[in-house]
Amino acid sequence: MKFLASYVMRGQFQALSATVFLGVLSLQLLPAALLSCAIIALYVLRKGYQKTIPVLVLTLVLVYLSTLIIETRAGLSIPLVIIITVPVAICALVLRATASQGIAVSIAIGFAALFALLVEWVTGDAIQWWSEWLKTAILGLNNTGYEDFLESGNIKIMNGLVATLIGLCIVLSLFIGRWLQSLLFNPGEFGKEFNQMVVPRRILVIISIILLLSAVLSDNLLNDLLMVFSVLYFLQGLAILHHHIAKNDLSSSWLFPIYLVIFFLPHYAIMGLAGAGVMDTFLNFRKLPK
């Protein structure tokens, strides 16, 4: 990864060649989209927006043109790179200006919430729209599986779930870009910065107002936004855990069972850590003694 970061830092052509290659690769191998966008984030963080804009624009154009000759994954007529590249660049610009992961991640989750709102507003019925999307776009879903999915009620969370995944993709791309910058120019700094990640208290006020308004408009929209915003405070809760393990000079292996719980019981882990993140906004758990 350090070699990749060194390569793209040589100039705009190198950065463009890497972002386009990974962007085109992501049409079949989706995680490559995160690396493509991470390079954009790295370039913004190190070079600024003026030198990044040509790379960003050409990447979007060339990846789009590639979809005319390369079949995209089922259900993704618009490549993930095209969806998240601009949000990632904006978040990287915010991080460059503020040096605050909390603010930058808040912007990323804001884009995810905006996605959920737009789907609800543009379609008029997000549940029905996602139902039709599943029926026509997911080629491997048989009729029995489709009916079982509808009957389970999981279709009600599709809008919030997809928005949440988009938000996580933006955040992961931003974090990878920041980590690559740390590898090249300030080894170890990414971890220290993440350990101190704090979402400003005013963001919680804004989120509370948005949730109150959404509760008036639609219960489904409220549930969607609760799911999206919980990720923001989940990340803050995770940062608290990393901070205390580093503060007490504990082995990073202590994190292994925590990530196992996150993987196997995501609902409980995310809500628990999100609750800790919200409380940290007022109590500042990082000031607790060892």
- pLDDT-derived band at 33 (thresholds 50, 70, 90) equals very high
Distance, in Å, from the CA atom of 45 to the CA atom of 224, rounded to the nearest integer, reads 31
- pLDDT-derived band at 146 (thresholds 50, 70, 90) equals low
The pLDDT value given to residue 142: 54
User: Do the beta carbons of residue 16 and residue 58 sit within 8 Å?
Assistant: yes
Distance, in Å, from the CA atom of 203 to the CA atom of 209, rounded to the nearest integer, reads 10
* pTM of the predicted model as reported, rounded to 2 decimal places: 0.93
Q: Which residues have a Cβ under 8 Å from the Cβ of 287 and sit 6 or more positions away?
A: none
Beta strands in the chain (DSSP E): none
- Selection from 121, 71, 73 nearest residue 221 by Cα: 121
Tell me: the pLDDT tens digits for 200-245?
999 999 999 999 999 998 899 999 999 999 999 999 999 999 998 9
Task: Indicate if the pLDDT at residue 13 is higher than 80.
Answer: yes
User: And the tokens for 144?
Assistant: 């029995």
- Report residue 27 CA to chain centroid gap: 18
The pLDDT value given to residue 74: 66
Mean pLDDT rounded to a whole number for the chain: 91
pLDDT over 70 for what percent of the chain?
92
For the chain, report the end-to-end CA distance as a whole number of angstroms. Answer: 34
- Report residue 259 CA to chain centroid gap: 18
Distance, in Å, from the CA atom of 164 to the CA atom of 230, rounded to the nearest integer, reads 9
Task: Indicate if the pLDDT at residue 152 is higher than 70.
Answer: no
- What value does the mean pLDDT take over residues 257-277? 91
Tell me: the pLDDT tens digits for 163-195?
999 999 999 999 999 999 999 999 989 999 999
The pLDDT value given to residue 87: 98
The pLDDT value given to residue 9: 94
Task: Indicate if the pLDDT at residue 144 is higher than 70.
Answer: no
Selected residue with higher pLDDT from 44 and 78: 44
3-state secondary structure of 153: coil
